[in-house]
Structure 1
Amino acid sequence: MTSFATRFRLRSAASLASLLLASHLAWAVEPFTVRDIRVEGLQRVEPGTVFGSLPVRVGETYNDDKGAAAIRALFGLGLFNDVRLEVSGDVLVVIVQERPTVAGVEFAGNREFSNEVLQGVMRDAGLTSGRPYDRALIDRAEQELKRQYINRSLYGAEVVTTVTPTERNQVRLTFNITEGRPARIQNIDIVGNQAFSDGQLKDLFDLDTGGWLSWYTKSDQYSRAKLNADLEALRSFYLARGYLDFKIDSTQVAIAPDKESIGITINVTEGERFVVSGVTLDGNYLEKDDEFKSLVTIRAGQAYNADQVAETTKAFTEHFGNFGYAFARVEAVPEVDRANNRVAIVIRSEPSRRAYVRRIHIQGNTRTRDEVIRREFRQYESSWYDAEKIKLSRDRVDRLGYFTELSVTTAEVPGAPDQVDLNVEVKEKPTGSISIGAGYSSAEKLAFTFGLSQDNAFGSGNKLDLQFNSGKYNRTVVVSATDPYFTTNGVSRTVDVYYRTQKPYQDQGGNYTLVTMGVGLKFGVPVTELDTIYLGLNAERTRIKPGTNIPAAYLDYANRFGYSSSAFPFTLGWSRDSRDSALAPNSGRYQRLLGELSLFGDARYAKANYQYQQYIPLSKQYTLAFNGEIGWGKGLGGRPFPVFKNYYAGGLGSVRGYDQSTLGPRDVTGAFIGGTRKFVLNTEFITPFPGAGNDRTLRLFGFIDAGALYGEGEKIRGDALRYSTGVGLSWISPLGPLRFAFAVPLRKRPGDRIQRFQFQIGTSF
């Protein structure tokens, strides 16, 4: 048999390949010089992919070793089901059979996850349309799907893949999912605790055995991440109460054979309770020992508290950083006296070397200009490293609201031991939004809202706003533009154009309206990093449109001063907000003071309003909240206070249990016209909703309200005060903050309008 007539075939099966290799002499080909290489069987794979994988080229000598290497290389691409090499004369023929490609991926039976979420899971697993069909890849995708369901406590989920051949050597994959029912936690057992009861310890956990609201909180659905967080809470609880040797020996999670119930057993060793005998400082403290001692929160004679130890070491590290020592090492070493159950804390510090910030590098901002970020930094280049200024800078950039992720890290400069670079990594989020919604309250009835906002117009940091609100009694259109850095030192400027229509809530079907049109210019001047003073000037015109059932007070004002009144109020305000959340606060304080003075125009008056909120965390579950508001107004230049500038009280946001805006003076027609002096005090005790565990989006509260409203010239009397008490429900719903309140008035006078049940979407206190 000559080399020109020899034809041979190599199969992909490993057994056949081994047989052929063992019988090498039976199929050996005489080496020859390759005149041409031809590829047959390609449909979608580029010929260059095949040629690039072959170990032999035209003009080179072909032999059996190169043939075997070619087979291995082509199979290694993962693109072919079968590969054959044939020799025709001095032409090498490569014959391939391509693997089918995935034409599409579909899902059936999924309810827990949307198709879009599962498609993302497939992409992460490397399975997408156009990818070569690979059974191993399908197996991996099935396991990834099951893992996603396990994370939702669906341990019985099953996935079966159907492969449907289609035209052009393609297949369509359908993942048929049987989700089953979520596995519920049947019991949580803590073994080894003696100092604290099971109930005390289980109250620390977000996981529980369920209640009637478990369908909402899903607190009875096991999650490894939640369990780890609960175990950390348990550990912190003991370490904060002196149990220095506390440890979690083991955690067993047992799944029932039906995969629908779970038991959790936590074995702990409490150890002895230790008391701090003393705190000493060891090391170099820059001759500022007294300053560092003032930062120590650990107290001798009290139980060892790991939180206080961590707080102290962190405060030391940050204080070193305030002097430029970026590489300070601080360590709290406990010296344990087990015989007397006492522990002495030695804080050892080594400031290392002082550092300068050489460069501040900003990365990830594809839209936002560098200057928008840099102008928020209080740490400057070529200045001493200052940890406090770096933290403040990070917080200021974060408060811009332009980024979903933000990190500031320190990097040493090679060859310069006294210099560091700051790397600022940001991940931008869309800052433009269109909001369309509807709300309903017991006072305003149905109200529609529309908003068009761009918080970072063209990456400049400027804000543009268009807001429209439509309710039964109040309608507002506002166009606003804010430049947060109108000046280089951070003075902001806001321009407003607004149009409002208002009617008292209890108009008994009247069709009169108060229409206010105006423009305003406001500046915000930062006094400190936390306090801002606002100064502004408005020009506005208010028109009383007469109609049926118009209150006599409005008619009298219109007859004396005209149905249209112009005013040029100057505004002066101050605000500070240290709450941990604007929607569901648990701690912190909010204060706002706003003054308004109009000396020119038809309406001349002075007006001031102060609001104070305080949230006191009593525990992880319970919060005590206070809200107080005082308002005052007075007419100037011999004129009365404009009736359309009056304060109103009653209902949600003031004294619950009374109909909205029905407290205070009335005119001769019996209409509620508001007052010039307002006082409101609210106290709330906030608790988790029964069965909701520690979920802060759904909470109950009990409250006591008090408030009064007085007209101009009216003597302040105690009998004008109204009180109420009741219970309520707050829910951070997809539509916004939703609050229900059921109140019982404690002081009721003839003519008071009572409304025991009230609710509103879009308010927070």
Structure 2
Amino acid sequence: MRRLLLIVMFIFFISGTALAEGLPLVNKISIVGLKRTEEGAIKAKISQKIGEPVSQDKISEDIKSIFKMGYFDDVKVEIEPFEGGVRLIYTVKEKPTIVRIDFQGNKELEDSKLKEKITVTSGSIADTVLIQDNALKIRNFYEEEGYWLANIVPVIKKISEDEISLTYQITEGPKIKIRKIIISGNNSISSSKIKKAMETKEWWLLSFITSSGYYKKAQMESDVEKIKGLYFDNGYIKAVAAEPEISVDRESKGMTITIRVSEGDQYKVSTVDFSGNKVYDDDTVRKLITIPPGTVFSKSLLEKNIQAISSLYSDNGYALASVVPDLVPDENNKTVHVSLAISEGEKYRIGRVEVSGNTKTRDKVIRREIRFDEGDIFSSSKLKRTYERITNLQYFDSVDMVPKPKYEEKVVDLDIRVKERPTGFLSVGGGYSSVDKFIATADLTQGNLFGKGQYLKIKGELGGVSSLYEITFRDPWFLDKPLSFSTGIYKTTRDFTEYNKKAYGAFVGLGKRFGEYWNEDVSYNFERATISDIKAGASAIIIDQQGTKSTSSITSTTTRDSRDNYLDPSRGSRNSFTATYAGIGGDNYFVKALVDSAWYFPIGPTSIMLRGRFGYSKGLFDNAVPLYERFYVGGIYTVRGLGFGEAGPKDPGTGEPIGGTTELIFNTEYVFPILPEMKLKGVVFFDAGQAYQDFINFGSLRYTTGTGIRWISPMGPIRIEWGYNIQKKPGESSSKFEFAFGSFF
């Protein structure tokens, strides 16, 4: 139709005087039909210019160019005489605007998450290609979340001539379980070892807890790299893992993932050399290289060596130092030469240190944890330690440390960005404790009082067999110095099987930090306790302590704590020695000492904890150690799977625990992630321990094993553990299920 119109117009001009002068000139160009689009945007696409002869080819190309903009349903061109030439009239019909976007049928994925995945928004042009492309984006998102049978249909509803609403009609279908993961092409490394290195797992019985067994695209991409890394760690430097092949059985609602591997040959290290070092001599650098020639090449070992060399430089001011490896394989001998190119860069100092994001916490609370001053030589280890110390304040959900090098000034500015978390806790309610049975509690705790980093706790607890009322205050930077001050008062009662105890007391303490990891605390405690309601047949140890006595004691604690995270440690250690002397007045005279050592070792995303404790107490001046100062072994904080005091001396007549004057406890834990994004972990443990009547009777231990979960919840850390009693004795249960809210080992 457009061509016919053009031909007619051309015939009109050819039939007149214009024939003698050639094709008519374009004297004007008009755009008609625009409502939202800028006229200039259209004219920028038009190649036909004013003052030039009219060209059918240019007009045809212009129509195509305008269509390609994607804003129009129709484009027409008309020609009419104008001032001795012609006027071109481009008539367009704009596509309607999307005024509303809805989702229907989605139950598993929220609207807000779906909107994050699409590029079409309210106000967008209703372009068919764009709408279909976003339907595909939604489908891909569902596949990434495991819903491979999801169906997405865009539904357009006309509101007016220029407006439409867009609804994505969603049929989610069931979540597809990974029934089988097939590794093919692997001869040197077993399929089970490859699968163990992967985060993607086949669906199993507890997948509803671990959320494993479902396909996630990002996780799968990471797993492909992990498979390559596994091969590189075993000398297969040319190994290739292909993109996963995914097959979905719509009837069984199951998925099979096939990963094809090309291993290649195994390579050994021939030689290792390095270059570019000027600041440090060859011997200093070579000591950090632990790759022995003749051994199978290992990528992870190479990375450790690179990190060690990088740390040597970055700990001493060379903030931009880098080490780039180059692998030169020898195809004939199946060896690889490793060359490390060191780029030292310039020496940098710390510039400005800015703290942001702390709306409540005062700047000084954060800055006093920083392990360097402005103007100091840059040190990556001090940067890391600063991160650990700020994180261990437990005031922030996240801590980001962003170095900003200034190349001309040779300084590194540092931005410390924190995101605060609630540090106040108010709880009024009830619950159940595996020790105290039913309890009612009221707890008001502020861990960052007035943003000064001070701690205040007011707590009341009433249980079936015990009660506790306490007020505690602690200032970790007393008088803005590296001194701690603590004080508190308490009142407690507890009904034991053979007697009852009532006590009240108060304490005050001072502490001082030494160096980076050491701390010394000294505290004075006064307690007045009453032992009453002694049951008939109780042992002489209990009967002798009937009545009211006071304890006036001083306690000294020396601690070295290098853990990376106090609540959830994975590396470092905590070692302490505590000594108590009671007899500064009062009625009780005794000494008590405790050595406690815990070590944490990371193994990838998992960790191992080894802990040992030895406690000793002795009465002085012919006085016995009070019942409530003796060692009771058994329970969630000592040997799990045993009841309170079961691993220790018992009353000969009734068989009830009476505690020991000496204890020895060992704990081993293997901690692994379950839901990392929720900070939920699992634990497998083995415990051994025993309390003894006296040091001379040191003997065998009681053994237990079990499993549990750890959760860093928004309300605080929670642990739930089940322990199995390996050496069950008459009257004991074969296992115990326990939980605690507070802190881990």
The question of a shared fold, defined as TM-score above 0.5 by the shorter chain, is answered with yes
Task: Judge conservation of contact 2:563–2:571 (CA < 8 Å) in 1.
Answer: yes
The amino acid across from 1:760 in the alignment is: E
- C-alpha separation in 2, matches of 1:217 and 1:461: 36
Name the CA distance, whole Å, in 1 between partners of 2:175 and 2:164.
33
Paired residues of 2:633 and 2:689 also in contact (CA < 8 A): no
1:307 Cα shift? 1.1
List aligned pairs for 1:436-455, cutoff 5 A.
440=432, 442-448=434-440, 450-455=442-447
Contact residue 471 and residue 490 of structure 2 kept, 8 A:
yes
Question: Matches of residues 694-713 of structure 1 in structure 2 within 5 Å?
Answer: 701=684, 703=686, 705-710=688-693
Cα 1:235–1:474 change in 2 (3 A) is farther
Q: Which residue of 2 aligns with 1:55?
A: none
CA distance in 2, matches of 1:382, 1:657: 55
Q: Which residue is equivalent to 1:630?
A: 614
Q: Corresponding residue for 1:606?
A: 591
Deviations 1:661-706 (A, max 9, x none): 24444457636352342324346575989x999x995757474634
Q: Provide, for residues 322-379 of structure 1, a one-character-per-residue CA deviation record: whole Å limited to 9, x for no partner.
A: 2212222322333433322223323232322212222112233333322222221112
Aligned position for 1:358 = 351
Where in structure 2 are the equivalents of 1:516-531 lying within 5 Å? 516-531=503-518
Separation in 2, partners of 1:705, 1:288? 50
What is the letter of the counterpart of residue 387 of structure 1?
Answer: S
User: Do 1:664 and 1:672's aligned partners in 2 also have CA atoms closer than 8 Å?
Assistant: no
Contact 1:698–1:731 (CA under 8 A) maintained in structure 2: yes
Q: Which of residues 625, 645, 656 in structure 2 aligns to 1:661?
A: 645
The 1:360–1:716 alpha-carbon spacing in structure 2 relative to 1, beyond 3 Å, is same
Give distance in 1, aligned partners of 2:104 and 2:706: 43
Q: Indicate the RMSD between aligned Cα atoms, in angstroms.
A: 4.5
SS of equivalent to 1:203: helix
Q: Which one scores higher on RCO, CA 8 angstroms, separation ≥ 6?
A: 1
Distance 1:140 1:245 in 2: 38
State the match for 1:534 in structure 2.
Answer: 521
Could you say if the C-alpha distance between residues 349 and 171 of structure 1 is closer, same or farther in structure 2, counting changes exceeding 3 Å? closer
Aligned length: 666
Q: Residue by residue, what CA displacement relative to the aligned partner does 1:488-519 show, whole Å, maximum 9, x if unpaired? A: 45222233333322233x44xxxx53222222
- Three-state SS of the structure 2 residue aligned to 1:233 is helix
Shift of 1:586: 6.7
Q: Secondary structure at the match of 1:455?
A: strand
Equivalent position SS for 2:197: coil
Give the deviation of 1:581 after TM superposition: 7.1
Tell me the secondary structure at the aligned position of residue 529 of structure 2.
Answer: strand
Q: What's the TM-score, normalizing by structure 1?
A: 0.74
- Given that residues 590 and 612 in structure 1 are in contact (C-alpha distance below 8 angstroms), is that contact kept between their aligned partners in structure 2? yes
Shift in CA distance, 487/273, structure 1 to aligned 2, threshold 3 Å: farther
Is the 8 Å Cα contact of residues 649 and 678 (structure 1) preserved in structure 2? Answer: no
Counterpart amino acid of residue 341 in structure 1: K
Kindly tell me: are residues 122 and 499 of structure 1, through their superposed partners in 2, closer, same or farther at Cα, counting changes over 3 Å?
A: farther
Is 1:739–2:721 an aligned residue pair?
A: yes
2:725 aligned partner, one-letter code:
A
Change (3 A) 1:308 1:414: closer
Q: Report the alpha carbon displacement of residue 153 of structure 1 after superposing the two structures with TM.
A: 0.3
Three-state SS of the structure 2 residue aligned to 1:381 is coil
Report the CA distance shift for 1:673/1:704 in structure 2 as closer, same or farther (over 3 A). Answer: closer
Q: Which residue of 2 aligns with 1:716?
A: 697
In structure 2, do the counterparts of structure 1 residues 736 and 410 end up closer, same or farther at CA, with 3 Å as the change threshold? closer
Conserved? CA contact 2:640–2:722, under 8 Å: no
Unmatched segments (≥5 aa) in structure 2 = 10-27, 42-69, 74-95
- Tell me which of 174, 177, 180 is aligned to 2:173: 180
- The answer to whether 1:478 aligns with 2:465 is no
Match of 1:758? 736
Q: CA deviation at 1:722?
A: 5.2
Cα pair 2:97 2:126 within 8 Å, conserved: no
- How far, CA to CA, are the matches of 2:383 and 2:425 in structure 1? 31
| Distance apart, 1:381 and its partner CA | 0.7
Aligned to 1:226: 219
Contact 2:572/2:600 (CA < 8 Å) preserved in 1? yes
Report matched runs for 1:150-549 at 5 Å.
150-158=143-151, 177-256=170-249, 260-413=253-406, 415-416=408-409, 418-435=410-427, 440=432, 442-448=434-440, 450-504=442-496, 506-507=497-498, 513-546=500-533
Tell me how far 1:248 sits from its aligned partner: 2.0
Report the AA paired with residue 486 of structure 2. Answer: T
Equivalent-residue separation in structure 1 for 2:564 and 2:370 (angstroms): 22
Q: Which residue of 1 aligns with 2:12?
A: none
Aligned partner of 1:72 among 15, 22, 37: 37
Structure 1 contact 630–677 (Cα < 8 Å) conserved:
no
| Overall identity of the aligned pairs, in % | 24
Distance 2:131 2:658 in 1: 70
Instruction: Report the CA distance between 1:320 and its aligned residue.
Output: 0.9
Structure 1: gaps (5+ residues): 1-14, 24-62, 82-97
- Counterparts of 1:441 and 1:759, CA distance in 2: 11
Aligned residue in 2 for 1:90: none
Write the letter of the residue equivalent to 1:244. I
Cα distance, 1:741–1:287 mapped onto 2, change above 3 Å: closer
